[in-house]
Structure formats: C-alpha cells, structure tokens
Structure 1
Amino acid sequence: MDTIASLFSFITWPVSWVIVQFHKLYGAIFGDDTGWAWGLSIVSLVVLIRICLIPLFVKQIKSTRNMQVLQPKMKAIQERYKNDKQRQSEEMMKLYKETGTNPLSSCLPILAQSPFFFALYHVLSSIASGKTIGVIDQPLLDSARQAHIFGAPLAAKFMDSEDKVAALGASLTDVRVITAIMIVLMSASQFFTQRQLMTKNVDLTVKTPYMQQQKMLMYIFPVIFAVMGINFPVGVLVYWLTTNVWTMGQQMYVINQNPTPGSKAQEQYLGRLLKSVSTHGQVRGRTRRNTVKRVVAKGPDRNDIERKFITGLAKLGLAAQEDGTVTKSDAAVLEAEGGAAQKRQQPKRQTKAKRQTHTGAGAAKEAGADETASRTSLTKQDTPRDDKPKSAGRSAASGSSRQAKSGQRKGPQRPKHPSKK
C-alpha cells in the first residue's frame, strides 16, 4: 500500500494544504490538538472532493442506465458473432458510438477519487512515522499525532503492534474496537448503497447477465473493503466511511428524484407525482415537469408504469402536455369514465348445478316441442282424405310427412323425376 501511495505523492501537497486550512478553522473551535479538529478536517476534505465530482457522478448515472438499456442488444451481438471476436468488438464499439455510451463512465468517480485517497493515506502514514510531509511541518505533525478519535490515534491501524500504538499514546484495545466499528459501518454502507440500487433503481423488465454480475458485486465489495480496512489508518477509515455515507445519500436522492425507467423507484415516484397533481391541480417543480415532459415525448414507447401514470391523469380529467404541464381535458374525462362503461360486459359465470338445470330444462322443452309436432302430425293424418287427384306440391308435402315419421330428414323433399316414379 505504501508503494502505491508513493505513486500519488505529487498530489500530497494539495491534500495536506486543504487539510491544514480546515484544521485552522476547526482548531479555533475545538482546539488544535483535538481529534474533532483533525477528524472534521478529513470529513470536510471528503465533502469538497465529492462536490467537485458531482458532474462525474451524473455521467456515471447516465452511463449505468444506458448500459442497462443496451444489455439485450449487446447480448444479441455476442450470440450473433460468438465465433468472430473481432467483429463482435467492432459491433460493440459501433453500438456505444451510436448511443453515446462510455462503459468506463461508471468507474469515473472511483477513478477520480483514487489519487486523493492514496495521497491521504500517504500523509497519514507519514504522520504515524513521525515524518513531515507537504505543508505539514513539525508543530502540525506533533498536533496530529496527539489527536485521538474516540480514543484511537489518527494514524493507528487495526494490525498495528501494541508498542506502536503505545507510542501514539493509546491502548491496542481501544484502537481495535474503534477500527472494527468503522470497518463494519464502512462495509454496511457500501452494501446498502449497492442493494438499494439493485432493488429499487433497476429496470425489472431487463434480465441479462449484467444484472447477475451486479448482484454478485453487491456482496463482494463489502468483503473486499472489510479485508482492506484492517490495514487502513483511522484517518483513512474516517475518509472512506464519510465518502460511503455521501454516496449512499446521493444515491437515495437520485433514486427518489430521477429513477430509472421501468424500475420500482419510478413506480413510486410517479405515484407520488400523481398524488401531488391531484392535490394541487398542477405539476409543481421544474424536475417534475421535466419528468412529465420525458413521459409525453416517449409516446407509444412508454412502459407500463408510465402508461398507468397517463391513465391516472385522464381519470382526474387532466392531460399531460409537451412542456411538462397538465391541462383540463373533457376528452380525458370521457375516455376515463366512458371507456369502462362502453366495454362489453361479460356474462356472469354460472355454477355447474345451474348449468345442469338449464340443460335439463332445454331438453324438456325440446321433448315437448317434438311431442307437440307429433300430435299435430297425427291429427292431420286422422282427417279424411280427398279423393280428388293431388297436385305435385301436395304429393311432395305428403312424402315429406311420411319421411319425417320414418326418421328421415325433415323438411320439404325434392320431387322425384317422372321417369323414376
């Protein structure tokens, strides 16, 4: 670790200068040699760095979402050119270029923080060794070595020997308890940040190997930080815990205000937005208007959550506009209220006993109709016949009656040809 930190020694002077400036501020309040003055100086360094990295964080969010959207297309390219790796790489780069996606953008905040992290580690290691570094001269070095955070020296480590810890004016038990608590909090904050990203801010309609990899990293990263944390000085643990808490809060804000389309967070966000519109009758806030504007611009490409939101507005008698506002619409009311009434009502499903009852009643009716027809036919047969010659039509009717009695096809029959009589 010391070798890696020495590679970033060029930035140790700016880092040490920033810490010293914050130390002057907090030293005037809490005292120069207190752990609060030095600890809050490190926390303020983290906040300053993370504020400067907000644009990179925004790019990270956009890149992560674009990667999630492109996963099905990337999988199709891999399957299509699985035997031609060169063509596969070319098609991937072409896809990235067309969509404006940079796979490395998701790692930019971590890469940008790395120089400051290792520079701070180098500064704290020098303080533990009793060496001046950057703008930290001998008086500031002595003050930093006397600073304790809840009984643990700023430059002490979990794996330090008892003699080394005693030289810093502390006990080994206090150092290990404080560092262990910080390591647990650091790993837990890392896990929670990744977990809320996977459970709330991921498009649930996209099922790709990328999602499985993210789930694995959700459990691997906290273990890595826990193993590495035992070799970090207390001051570095303060830095890393602070940056994890900042990331967690930043992630929660993004999830609540700008969720990924198709995710559970988007469903909750649009539900809150619909409730706000129903209460105030308008879209309040520029961020919310931008959200409505994006939903309207998608048109038929909206997902189920966005369609549900538009339907909810219609039920309120409102219609979303292209500028992100909503207006009253009589057509939306008729569509919402009359649409359900105009739907064809499905017949009520009957039980098996009722179906059997209706079937039996129908059979009885048919039997009664056949019996009535039979009686009518017998009545007609009982009437006296006329001796006059019958016409061809009456002969055909008589023939059809006789055929009906014998079980043949009912109805008027075709008269026979004269040659076949």
Structure 2
Amino acid sequence: MDLFSLPPLALLLDLTTRALLALTAVLDPLAPGAAAALAVVVVTVVVRLLLIPVGVSQARAEQTRARLAPRLRALQERWRTQPERLQRETMQLYRDEGASPFGGCLPLLAQAPVVGLLYAVFLHPTVGGRANTLLAHDLWGVPLGRSLASALSTGSTDAATLIVIGAIVALIAGVAELTRRLLRPSVDPSAPAWTRTMVGVLPFTTAAVALFVPVAAGLYLAVTTVWTLAQRLILRRRFPLPA
C-alpha cells in the first residue's frame, strides 16, 4: 500500500510538489537545465537554517555527555552486575543534569520527514492527478528521480548515472570520514559495545542510503552532510568538550 494515497499524505505530497515546481520556475533563469536540482539545494539550506536551534541543543548535549563521562564510568563499575539498576542510575544522572542521552538524534529525526517527502515526490509519476513534471528535470543528464538501485534493476545504468550518483556517494562518505577525524564522537561509556560501534559507523550509512534513493534525495543528503560538519565544527568552538 502506498501511504501517500491516504488523503492527508496525498495533500502534503501535492503541496510539496507544487512548491518545488514554483521554486524551480523562479530559479530557472539562474540555472537553466538544473533549476530543480538547485531548488533541492535551496530547500536543504532552508531546512538546516530552521534546525540551527536543534543543532545548538545537540552540541550542548554532546558537551554534557562528555562532561558526565567519568561519572557514567563510575556508575558502570558500580552496577555492572545489575543492568536494570545501571539503567535507572544513568537516566537519573541525566535527569539531574537536565540532559538527555538521545539529544544527538534530534537533527536526524527532524530531517527524516523532509527526506521522505523528497523521496516520494521524485518517486511518483503522477501527483494530485497530474503528471509529475519534476521527473523531467535532471542533474547533468541524470533524471532526479533515478537511483542507482532502480537503474540497475531496469538496465538503464549509463556512465552519467554512475558518475553523478558516485560523486554524491563519494562526497557523503568523504565528509563522514572528515567528521570521524575532526570530531571526537561523544559516547556514553555505560553503553554496550555495539552502541559505540554504531556511533562510529552511523555517519557512513548515509552514503549507503544515497545508493537507493532518487538523485534529488541523495543531493539533499549530500548538502545536509556538508552543512552538518561545518555547523558542528563551529559549535564545537562554542561548546568545547572537556580535555
């Protein structure tokens, strides 16, 4: 079942498509042939500007987690044989400090609906009973609605598709590696080993996702990944982690 066939979601999809078409028309004189791709970039920047307060909250939460790390390790040593007591004491510590162990997830959760909408817009050939003309737009000759997975399954893979999607994936992976090198991830020391491993791997999963979503959604992911790194570097100066 297509969830966007439900009336509320169908209306949201229609409004999003109309807004992107209107923005594309405005940007067409600036970027003939790539106006829809530029519209996706503009939408990404607007979303990230709106999420700056969330980014600040994330930076504060990361600073708090790093500051609490010694106390969390002490709790882990004391209650390691009582997992339920350890969890209660850990959550109580966060409550006492007015912090949350899940603060770092807020930007991802906040952006998920936007990525989902972009995915849906460039996946549906018809929206609101009309042909989706956004699918006629491309980025350097590659339709914005094409993904590497769909191109391989339909046999429509060509050099341009491999180059454009490969460049998007390489950019995301490269920024993820820079993030790993430049920003020491803050991990709850009481968390299980698999959680710490996931924190290290998580930035690279976005590159894998870009292989399966339309080029438009992949472009959003690439721009937001670059923005995230730049924003975190700036906020790390404002909210430095303890040595």
TM-score range, shorter chain: 0.7 to 0.9
How far 1:90 moved relative to its partner? 2.5
Counterpart Cα distance in 1 of 2:99 and 2:224: 26
Q: Which amino acid aligns with 1:155?
A: G
Counterpart Cα distance in 2 of 1:207 and 1:45: 34
Alpha-carbon deviations, 1:249-298, whole Å to 9, x = none? 1122223x4141434xxxxxxxxxxxxxxxxxxxxxxxxxxxxxxxxxxx
Q: Is residue 21 from structure 1 mapped to residue 22 from structure 2 by the alignment?
A: yes
Q: Structure 2: which 5+ runs fail to align?
A: none
Q: Which amino acid aligns with 1:174?
A: A
Which residues of 2 match residues 44-193 of structure 1 at below 5 A?
Answer: 44-126=42-124, 130-133=125-128, 137-138=130-131, 141-142=132-133, 144-161=134-151, 172-193=158-179
What secondary structure, in the 3-state scheme, does the structure 2 residue paired with 1:100 have?
Answer: coil
**Residue number in structure 2 paired with 1:262:** 242
Q: How many aligned positions are there?
A: 240
Higher RCO structure, 1 or 2 (CA under 8 Å, sep 6+): 2
How far 1:184 moved relative to its partner? 0.9
The question of whether the paired residues in 2 share the 8 Å contact of 1:157 and 1:232 is answered with: yes
How far 1:162 moved relative to its partner? 7.1
How far 1:114 moved relative to its partner? 0.5
**Residue number in structure 2 paired with 1:336:** none
Counterpart Cα distance in 2 of 1:107 and 1:153: 32
How far 1:219 moved relative to its partner? 5.0
Counterpart Cα distance in 2 of 1:89 and 1:258: 30
- TM-score, with length taken from structure 1: 0.50
Q: Which amino acid aligns with 1:262?
A: P
Which residues of 2 match residues 351-362 of structure 1 at below 5 A?
Answer: none
**Residue number in structure 2 paired with 1:253:** 234
Q: Structure 1: which 5+ runs fail to align?
A: 264-421
Distance 1:88 1:3, change over 3 A: farther
Distance 1:68 1:214, change over 3 A: farther
Distance 1:73 1:240, change over 3 A: same
Counterpart Cα distance in 1 of 2:201 and 2:75: 29
What secondary structure, in the 3-state scheme, does the structure 1 residue paired with 2:147 have?
Answer: coil
How far 1:247 moved relative to its partner? 0.8
How far 1:81 moved relative to its partner? 2.2
Counterpart Cα distance in 1 of 2:232 and 2:4: 29
How far 1:14 moved relative to its partner? 4.7
Distance 1:161 1:53, change over 3 A: closer
- TM-score, with length taken from structure 2: 0.83
Alpha-carbon deviations, 1:314-340, whole Å to 9, x = none? xxxxxxxxxxxxxxxxxxxxxxxxxxx
The question of whether the paired residues in 2 share the 8 Å contact of 1:63 and 1:102 is answered with: yes
**Residue number in structure 2 paired with 1:196:** 182
- Aligned residues: percent identity? 22
Counterpart Cα distance in 2 of 1:163 and 1:73: 52
Distance 1:13 1:109, change over 3 A: farther
